[in-house]
Amino acid sequence: MERADEALTGSAPGPFGPLVTADWLARQLAAPGLVVLDASVGVHRGAPRRIPGARPFDIDGALSDHSNPLPHAMPGADQFTDEMRSLGLDDDSTVIVYDTAGIYSSARAWWMLQAMGFDRVAVLDGGLPAWEAAGLPVESGRPAPAPHSGSFTARPRPGWIVGGDEVAAALIDPSSTVLDARSRDRFSGTASEPRPGLRGGHMPGAVNLPFGEVQREGLMRPTAELKGIFEGLVEDREKLTFSCGSGVTACVLALAARLAGYRELAVYDGSWSEWGIPSDRPVVTGR
């Protein structure tokens, strides 16, 4: 699996792959230029314990565009720049993102940073549970402010975050696959959507891959297993678009696909929160 441990050169952190282990992060925690961000959402947001020195990457708060009625909408470049600078990020920082659920919303932060042109970012495999299971220290109380205002500048990458029209085109493109990270019951329409007013079911032609299936015991599955999962679902198609409920766990699939070697990836920002609104967008039920 492509991890920081395998690509590390010298004593400075990075360059590295999409994942780092708890042991690696513990060794590098005091390295100059390293920034650790807690990207927890929902009930896990503002958890009482965190990795020492971690700063909040607040997807539920300032790192969503609240002028958009859809949940977790990607903020604009100026807003993103301002928030990253307030967290002390420089253009040459090395960033490790994690969440307290394991690997859930941290993948969204990883994808957002890359979509804004920043590559020196990786996800902590297993998140805070893996950190604590390794017996590593945590801290509590209010997080300390960033030591300085950063120099980060967002440089959005076209095609990394897409809308409904791009997804509709991908659904009929023979070189593309749209993968849905929701549960199988929600995908089939046999379970109600947690957000009121949405239709049940899925996009015609989409493939279901619940995000938990690319993990095992809280960690991302090994590369060979991920390759097998994707090859069984997408065959020889290389262009992959990911959807979920609100654009968060779609990024877990994007992380898995990157580990499996896929590079032409996109995340549907509105996901089912947009597509599932009653409209003329087609929806089907069943497997």
Q: Which residues are catalytic?
A: 244
For residue 285, the Cα-to-chain-centroid distance in whole angstroms is 27
Question: 182 and 244 in contact (C-beta within 8 Å)?
Answer: yes
Q: Among residues 205, 180, 206, 204, which one has the least CA distance to residue 193?
A: 180
- Phi first, then psi, for residue 177 (nearest 5°) are -135, 135
Half-sphere exposure of residue 208: CA atoms within 13 angstroms, side-chain side: 17
- Phi first, then psi, for residue 285 (nearest 5°) are -120, 170
- Taking the C-alpha atoms of residue 158 and residue 176, their distance in angstroms, rounded to an integer, is 17
Distance in Å from the first CA to the final CA of the chain: 31
DSSP β-bridge partners for residue 55: 37
SS3 220: strand
- Taking the C-alpha atoms of residue 210 and residue 252, their distance in angstroms, rounded to an integer, is 10
For residue 104, the Cα-to-chain-centroid distance in whole angstroms is 7
- Phi first, then psi, for residue 82 (nearest 5°) are -60, -45
Question: 227 and 214 in contact (C-beta within 8 Å)?
Answer: no
